[in-house]
Structure 1
Amino acid sequence: MKRYGYICLWFLFFFGYSSAMGAADQWGTGSLMIIVERENSSVVVVDSLKHEILGRISDLGVLHHASISFSQDARYAYIISRDGWLSKLDLLTLERVAKVKVGDSSIGLTVTQDNRYIAVSNYKPAVVKIIDAETFEDVAAIPVEREVNGETVPSRVVGMVDAPGNLLVFSLMDADGIWVVDAGSSDFPVIKKYWDIGKMPYDALLTPDGRYYIAGLYHSRHLAMLDLWELDKTKEIDLNNPNKKTAKMAVRKVPHLGGWSMAGGLFFAPVVAEARLPVYRSGSFELIKSISLAGMPMFAMASPDGRHVWVNFSGQNHRLVQVIDVATLEVVKTFDIGDRVFNMEFSPKGAYVYISSYKDNKVVVIAANKLQIIKKFDVNTPSGIFSTIRAHISGL
């Protein structure tokens, strides 16, 4: 009996030690950053607690303007390529586990709030594709079009978000509209259609509380806002500079990477082709200030605590990132990150900011509260950065 006890202890020690050794090579998914390697047809997976690259997943298609959404348990990342390939990535094994063709030219995606389906927005064909998140089977295709003078006009789809009530909301780029789909019904009916919201929507966001859907417009001097609590009509948010007329919107935005933000009860909306950041009071959307910037803003991203808004630029000052204090609405820090800053993303709880320098093939990590660069690491042509925290945020 005594000898049997020693054998049991030996087994416990050996297998317990082996299990611990195996666990050292594993990770959770709650603090991962997925970085798109734009010209490499791949993504890099980074542990944002250690700021270390865990691995790379390749052969994902054309990744210009690639978007990523996550399953609610953050186990899987879904990435849509520009050439219409939807891939399912296992973030525990760093392998692609499913792949399906959903279009010829795709631009965005989201996971429905019941976690059952992936909705993909296409430029071509003009449809929203619904894919079963588990089986990757094709479930539905919603034609996106408008009748104009007796003629059916197909439209590119932009600004796709998931919204409370298991809704899908998106904009019609070529038809000046916003549609709302009931993703809880098996036939995915379009329950609301709004027309003439402004000229040529290009992207949209959902406010953090899930109430307001706000679309940007290429050729109008306002944003279009839909109150999802009311679902009655869209309203305009004026972009005009009180000191001069705002120019027509230019093609500057990258879809679905988080161009605008809410913080401190305020709404920050970059104006294309002008070196300023308009600030609106949330709810009333009254313009209260325009913050002068170093260049034409591309993205204005709020830290999770709402203390700062981080802005990067297109045009001549694309190396820079400026930090705005939300309490004072003043620029408090300017970073020179590197050639062609493409995107920024916060780690969970906002301790760090990851910033991609596309032409310098690097990602820069900044301690958000100290406003200090703490690390740089090599990534091949990095563009979009997506934190797994998005798995729990409506609209992403």
Structure 2
Amino acid sequence: MLKRGLLFAFLLSLIVILTACSSETTAPSDKASEPAKEQAQPTEQPVNKPSEPVAGEQAKGVVQRTDIEKLYVDSCGGCHGQTRLGALGPNLLPERLFSGMKEEDIFKVIKEGRPGTPMPAFNTVSKDRSDDATIRELIEYLKTPVALEAQTWSLEDAKASLEVINDEKTLPAQPTAWDPNEIEIGDLMVAMERETRKYAVMDGKNHKLLGKIDGSYRTHTIQFGPADTPEGRYMYGIGRDGWLFKVDMYSFKTVRKVRVGLDSRGTAVSADGEYIAISNYLPSSVMILDKYLNPLKYLPTYGIDPDGQIVGVNGSQSRAAAILDTVIDGKQMFVVALKEAGRVWGIDVSKEGAEKGFPIVVDVPRVGRILHDGFLDDSGRYFMIASQGDNTKPSLLDPSKPDNGLMGIVDMKEGKLVSQLPAGIKPHPGPGAVIHTKKNGVLYATPAIGENLVTFWKQTKNGFEVYKQVRLGKEGENGGSLFIRAYNGIEGKGEAQNYVWVDIAFAPNWNKVFVIDKESLEVVKEIDTAAIAGTDPQKTRSVHPEYTQDGKFVYVALWEGNAVLVFKPNGDFVTKIDGPVTPTGIFSYGARAAEPGI
């Protein structure tokens, strides 16, 4: 048991949710999460007014929450668990929290956050309700007993929620939302509008906003159908409320929607386009569907965690985090990270696997604590997964040190963990960076949420080893990052670029983006996005750099700045695209089609 002084310090450092686009950043919603039913049509001048959420969450199996409970789940549950039992952050059981801290100390930490740590001030995660009275209400809620019963959403519930909006048979044979004489589908750039329940679609060659598409509450991740299949014209987008949308990118029309969970995160599409998988936080599970969004399989996520505890049963959780698709020896597989269990599963989605009910054919334990984002190497064999650690426990690498995080490398062919690498405090690769260099061979990279550090590693005869770590400014000068991207060239589309882009997503200085030369591994440009956009640096969080299909441009989202900035790969500014509202993640159809898993 922690002594009171240590507990006090620990809770100070982790009392409020860690925010992430891709990750865990949230804001409150007083309304429930049923998505809007009207389809947004393409327009040359999109309207910036957010759509109103639909009130009332009456679906079977959904426990009704008070407004403050909803705020907690949205703004705190990502780190502390939806039922306050702890996850990346500590549990918030009242007997522990209030015995270790005074109420005024708790109030101050929630309101102000802690500079130099991933924990932000409350008004950065709860924009609509961040006043002192709301914080007091939240503290009162934290005093209440924790309900241990799990909220459920079954396969039958999911099947009953399926709605066909525009049948595939009614869709146009050729693009109508954009001119195929000017661009191709691979040139589309899609930005998630975090607070408006919409996706903003941009022309990656001419840098124009083409239109907007309705989505769901807190649009979180998207995937495109495989480019070489008939499903390549579709986009699949999941909201944090569990509503999955299938969208036709020829017409920008929503085709189907289905609710696959109550709190969802990741999306994967099989290599042949026949199956979609969604990773859920609540209930902790993976849902597998066919290409028509018919739910086929519900897999609860469970296992023995790195400390020998059973998670996923009897009220405990092992949320499903990163989920990707790969092909191993010709066999299609979904790769999923079990967050609290610290395990990696491989789910067989080959023809034979589907006939057998999608069995788990790979189960790798002790990959790390609190697994989150991940990416694959070029072959799709090695899964690079961020373990964000638990600094109350000893490191899996060095038991004499606290566990602040690492990158686990899992061989999905052999079904085993091959390396664990130190990668800064709470690494967060997002889609990650696979970097082809002349000098250093193939490198892999991740930034970190908890410090301004980028870690590069490579495969050697001795396994995977850290190659170099690069500071983004002086130590502690800037906040941590969420996303890193590189461009290795796409045959027939574009040549490889020499630069790796990394954002700064947390205070201080979240208006900065860094450009690293991939050969020298030195920072060659520090970009002040607020100065370029002419906005307040405190309101110009710039995130998620993304290369266009041809590699000639890099798009950067201005979260609070309601715009997207366009640069050349070397960091020279090109133009500003106005119209996207609270954009966060940006997804390049063509660039992602060329990378395994994403």
TM range (shorter): 0.7 to 0.9
Residue 224 of structure 1: which of 408, 411, 436 is its match? Answer: 408
- Alpha-carbon distance between aligned partners in 1 of 2:310 and 2:594, rounded to the nearest angstrom: 43
Q: Distance in 2 between matches of 1:317 and 1:36?
A: 22
Matches within 5 A, 1:262-277: 262-264=435-437, 265-277=442-454
Aligned amino acid, residue 302 of structure 1: A
Match of residue 67 from structure 1: 221
The superposition leaves residues 109-165 of structure 1 with CA deviations (integer Å, 9 ceiling, x where unpaired) of 1101121011000001122111111x2211111121126469654411011010113
Report Cα offsets for 1:33-67 as digits up to 9, x if no partner: 01111111101111111111111112x11125x10
SS at 1:395 equivalent = coil
Find the counterpart in structure 1 of residue 512 from structure 2.
320
Q: Which amino acid aligns with 2:287?
A: K
1:196: Cα distance to partner?
1.9
| Count of aligned positions | 360
User: Aligned pair 1:179/2:371, yes or no?
Assistant: no
d(CA) in 1 for partners of 2:178 and 2:247?
A: 22
Flag the 1:226–1:149 CA change in 2: closer, same or farther, 3 A.
closer
1:163 has 2:326 as partner: yes
Query: Is residue 142 from structure 1 mapped to residue 299 from structure 2 by the alignment?
Result: yes
Q: 1:307 aligns with which of 486, 495, 498?
A: 498
Q: Please report how far the alpha carbon of residue 257 of structure 1 lies from its aligned counterpart in structure 2 after TM superposition.
A: 4.0
**Structural mapping, 1:114-153, within 5 Å:** 114-133=272-291, 135-146=292-303, 148=309, 153=316
Give per-residue Cα distances to partners, 1:253-298, cap 9 Å, x unaligned: 4xx8424443321122223322222222234322232212133232
Deviation sequence 1:197-221 (CA, Å, 0-9, x none): 2111122111222121011112144
Paired with 1:97 and 1:24, the residues of 2 have a C-alpha distance of 18
Go from structure 1 to structure 2 and tell me whether the alpha carbon gap of 1:132 and 1:226 turns closer, same or farther (over 3 Å shift). same
Which structure carries more strand by proportion? 1
Match runs of 1:1-396 below 5 Å: 25-26=179-180, 28-58=184-214, 60-63=215-218, 66-73=220-227, 74-133=232-291, 135-146=292-303, 148=309, 153-164=316-327, 165-184=331-350, 185-186=353-354, 187-219=357-389, 220=403, 221-231=405-415, 233-239=416-422, 249=426, 253=428, 257-264=430-437, 265-283=442-460, 284-294=463-473, 295=478, 296-304=480-488, 305=496, 307-313=498-504, 314-338=506-530, 339-369=540-570, 371-378=571-578, 379-389=580-590, 390-396=592-598
Cα contact 2:410–2:417 (8 A) shared by 1: yes
Residues 72-113 of structure 1: CA deviation (Å, up to 9, x unaligned): 133111000000000011111111111111110000111011
Displaced runs of 4+ in structure 1, greater than 6 A?
A: none
Structure 1 residues 24 and 140: alpha-carbon distance in aligned structure 2, compared to 1, 3 A threshold: closer
Alpha-carbon offset, residue 24 of structure 1: 8.1
Tell me, in whole angstroms, the C-alpha distance in 1 between the residues paired with 2:376 and 2:584. Answer: 22
Q: Aligned partners of 1:120, 1:365: CA distance in 2, in Å?
A: 31
Summarize the Cα distance change of 1:340–1:163 in structure 2 as closer, same or farther, 3 Å threshold: same
Q: Displacement of 1:174 after TM fit? A: 1.6
**Residue deviations 1:167-205, cap 9 Å, x none?**
111111121111111011111000121222211112211
Whichever residue aligns with residue 263 of structure 1, its letter is: H
Q: By percentage of residues, which structure has more helix?
A: 2
The CA deviation at 1:329 is 1.0
Distance change in 2, residues 1:179/1:375 (3 Å): same
CA change 1:327–1:190 in 2 (3 A) is same
Q: SS of the counterpart of 1:30?
A: helix
| 3-state secondary structure, aligned to 1:394 | coil
Letter in 2 for 1:309: V
Q: Percent identity?
A: 31
Tell me the CA shift for residue 25 of structure 1.
4.6
Q: Distance in 2 between matches of 1:391 and 1:329?
A: 26
1:335 Cα offset (Å): 1.1
TM-score (norm: length of structure 1): 0.85
Q: Which amino acid aligns with 1:358?
A: W
Contact 1:222 1:236 in 2 (8 A): no
Q: CA deviation at 1:346?
A: 0.7
| 1:381–1:149 CA distance, 2 compared to 1 (3 A) | closer
Does the 8 Å contact 1:207/1:262 carry over to 2? no
Aligned counterpart, 1:9:
none
| Alignment partners' CA distance in 2, 1:87 and 1:23 | 18
Q: Aligned partners of 2:522 and 2:513: how far apart in 1?
A: 14
- Structure 1 stretches of 5 or more lacking a match? 1-21, 241-245
Task: Give ranges in structure 2 of 5+ residues lacking alignment.
Answer: 1-175, 390-402, 489-495, 531-539
Taking the aligned partners of 1:24 and 1:34, their CA distance within structure 2 comes to: 14
Query: What is the identity, as a one-letter code, of the residue corresponding to 1:235?
Result: V
Measure, in 1, the Cα distance between the counterparts of 2:543 and 2:276: 26
Does the aligned pair in 2 maintain the 1:213–1:228 contact within 8 Å?
Answer: yes
CA 1:49–1:56 in 2, change beyond 3 Å: closer, same or farther? same
8 Å contact 2:513–2:529 — kept in the other structure?
yes
